[in-house]
């Protein structure tokens, strides 16, 4: 084994230990599908594991779930416009925070 192989191995190990914001950005997208039950079993498991280990993503998941509940309820009765606006602002804040990384 060459020295170069050693260096490559060490880097791969590091990357596995510390997920960065890019991972979270990808998970945020999956979380939306997760809530809609549009992920296959493998992706579902991956999202659950990430939510277990990543508190910021768990909070985003809770937020998305709240949005879904509001939208679902609005089919039966109109949701208060103030609440919908608050949810919209919250989502935008999360997205801005994510892209600023």
Residues that bind Zn ion (CB under 5 A): 24, 54, 57
Q: Residue 17 Cβ, how far from Zn ion at the closest point, in Å?
A: 14
Q: Which is nearer to Zn ion, 46 or 54 (CB)?
A: 54
Q: How far is Cα 69 from Cα 75, in angstroms, rounded to an integer?
A: 10
d(CA 49, CA 43): 10
User: Least Å distance between CB 56 and Zn ion?
Assistant: 6
CA distances from residue 63 to 18, 32, 51, 59 in whole angstroms, order as listed: 24, 10, 13, 6
Q: Cβ closer to Zn ion: 19 or 70?
A: 19
Q: Shortest distance, CB of residue 30 to Zn ion, whole angstroms?
A: 10
Minimum CB distance to Zn ion smaller for 16 or for 78: 16
Contacts of 8 (CB under 8 A, 6+ apart): none
For the bound state, the minimum distance from the C-beta of residue 4 to Zn ion, rounded and expressed in Å, comes to 32
18: DSSP letter:
S
Which CB sits closer to Zn ion, 23 or 67? Answer: 23
């Amino acid at each position: 084994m060459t020295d170069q192989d050693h260096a490559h191995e060490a880097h791969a190990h590091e990357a596995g230990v510390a997920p960065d914001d890019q991972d979270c950005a990808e998970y945020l997208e999956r979380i939306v599908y997760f809530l809609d039950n549009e992920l296959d079993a493998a992706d579902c498991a991956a999202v659950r594991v990430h939510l277990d280990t990543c508190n910021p993503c768990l909070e985003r998941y809770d937020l998305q779930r709240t949005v879904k509940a509001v939208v679902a309820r609005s089919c039966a009765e109109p949701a208060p416009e103030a609440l919908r606006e608050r949810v919209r602002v919250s989502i935008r804040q999360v997205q801005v925070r994510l892209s600023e990384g």
